[in-house]
Every structure is written in C-alpha cells, then in structure tokens.
Amino acid sequence: MVELDVLRGFLLLMMVVNHSPTPLRAITDQAVGFFSTAEPFVFISALLAGLIFQKRREKSGFAAARAATLQRALRIYRAHLITLFVVFAIGSLFLAEVPGIRYILNKFFDSPTFAVAGSVALLFQPPLLDILPMYVIFSLLTPLAFWVADRFSWRAVFATSLGVWALSQFNMREFLTAPIRDQAFVQIGPFDLFSWQLLWVTGLMCGHSLQQEKPILRFSRRTETVLLVITIGFALSRWTCAYFNVDASGTFWFLDKWHLGPLRLLDFFLVAWFAAKALPYLRRWREYLRPLSAVGQNMLPIFSTEVCLSIFVIGWISVRHHSVDAFATFLLFIQVLIAFVVGLSLEYWKARSVPVRALGPAPSAA
C-alpha cells in the first residue's frame, strides 16, 4: 500500500525533526493533537504486521506466517544490536569527552560490560534507543495474538489488551520492575509496554480486518461530524497550550505519553480515522511522492541510521555556545537529506538485484 509507505516516510522525517535540538520541533511535535509520531508509527507497523500475517496464513498456513513474523523480529533485533553497538563504539572511542554524549550514555560509561549484556537482553535502552526493543517484543507477541483470536475471538484479545492497559495506568510497570531498576545492566526506556501494547493489538485487528475486508467500525455522517468537531477541538487545545507554554501531556495523566492516557488515545484514534479516509488520495501523487515512499519502504535501516545521527548531533550541539539554532538546523537538513539518499539508494539497489530470470525468457532470434 503506497499510501502507507508515504505516511511512514513522512512520519520518520518528522521523528528526525522531533529528535533534533532545533526550533522546528516545536511545530512538528504533536502537530495535530496531543500525540507524537510514535503513536502512528506503532499503529501503522502493527496494521501492516496484521495484514501480512493474515495474508501469509491464508496462503501458506499459520506455521509459515508465524515463522515469517519471527524472522522479522530477528531482523529488528539485529538492527537494535547494531544501532546500539555503533553508538557505544563511536561514543566511547571518539566522543567520550563530549558532555552531551556522556549524559546520554552515562550508565554505559559507568559499566560498559553490563550495558552490553543488558542490551542483548533488551533491558538496557538509552534515550532514543528504546523503540526497536518495543518492536521486537510486540513482533514476538503477534503470533500469540492471532492464536488466541483463532481459539476465542478478537474481542477476547482486545478485552485482555484493554484490561492490561487499564492496569498500566496505575503504574503497574514501575511496581514490577522496581527490584531490578538499580542494576547496572538495566536502563528501561520511558515507553510503558503494558500501555503501548493496546495500540499494537488494535493495529493487528485493523490489519486482519483489512485482509478480510470487514470494517471494524461504521459511523453515520452525523456521528462523523461530531467526531470531527472533537478532533478539531483537540488540535485547538494543543496549540492553545503551546501558546501559553503549558505542557499538557506532562501535566495531566489523561494525556500522558508514556502510559498512553485515555484522552491521548482518543485523540489519536480520531485523527487516524479521518486520516484513513484521506490516505487513498495519495495514490494520485505516487510518482511525486516516490522519495517519501522509498523512505517508508526502507524504514528499519533508515530509522537505525537516523537514531545514531540524532544522538551524535544532540551530544555535539551541547558543546557549542553560539549560533546553536542555525548549526542544529543545518545538521537537521543534512539528516533529512541522508534519509532520502539512503531510501532511494536502497530502492535502486533492489531494482538492480532483481534476478534475470524474473524478467522472463530471452526472445528468440526468429
């Protein structure tokens, strides 16, 4: 689905801006409501995972679909390790004296061996390096969700997921991880997986329904009008808070990012509902949006590259005292350019590596 690739590419570039120490992130972070690029990233990834799992299961059976999903989880796990070890190596060999890098990797510099061991076990997650471990875990849970849905129903899966999310609002993760949080090999990221699994499960359900061509929800025109008004109200409230310099997501628990507060979830799903109606129109512009599509189709290697660059940029900016905004903006444009170059290069390489036999038999001399 080219429109989803375009959307993923666009979201990835927004994420790069959000991770950069430039004034531009005030515009791109929570641009249309009280949610960031992380929510649509997780949801779209889950939707595609559910869609692909269902397709493979219909074609080759559950075992084949499960094997493919586990292979995907292994690829994400390898990307996680490579990303971390690149950051560790460059940070320790060349940037060990940079204050920003020492702050981001402080636990690594204190105990390198334990940090590496914790990274392998997905327990050590420095800032900006906590997304891929979440994807690994959710990918491993995807076959289980389909297995439970087959034996019971998707309603049962969703009800269980909703119950776990509700418990997470009472800091369940903090209670369960309290005994190990002070260990040298543990640095758990801010994303509460007990909360964010609800987005993943909902995405799996939507992907499954797309393949089955069964809509999950239907709304009347009058209901959609009411929902649109609420969506606009969320957006206006977000920018009103920004105008008065109020961090609503950090102040009010029902808009909390890391635990996915209830109003934050509602805001995201309302925007997603209307965005889904607009996405098909992107097909008309597919040729013009090809660079964005290339970024979206190669999200994993580009994501890993951009995360490494963002960490080094943040660390390096901390040692400059003059023209920080201009210098950071310049580095940001370089990062965006690199994302496009990598995406288009990988697409070109894929096209060149197509086996000759896929082109069909050679024409006869006659």
The tens digit of pLDDT for each residue in 42-77 reads: 999 999 999 999 999 999 999 999 999 999 999 999
pLDDT value at position 360?
47
Percent of the chain with pLDDT over 90: 70
The tens digit of pLDDT for each residue in 151-194 reads: 999 999 999 999 999 999 999 999 999 999 889 899 999 999 99
Q: Is the pTM of this model over 0.85?
A: yes
The tens digit of pLDDT for each residue in 120-143 reads: 999 999 988 999 999 999 999 999
Q: Do residues 43 and 279 make contact, with C-beta atoms less than 8 angstroms apart?
A: no
Distance CA 73, CA 45 (A): 12
Q: Do residues 70 and 34 make contact, with C-beta atoms less than 8 angstroms apart?
A: no
Which tokens go with 275?
Answer: 């965005």
Task: Calculate Rg over the CA atoms of the chain.
Answer: 22
How crowded is residue 12: how many other Cβ atoms within 10 Å of its Cβ?
22
The tens digit of pLDDT for each residue in 213-227 reads: 777 778 889 999 999
- Torsion, Cα of 48, 307, 304, 13 (10° steps): 50
Mean pLDDT of the chain: 90
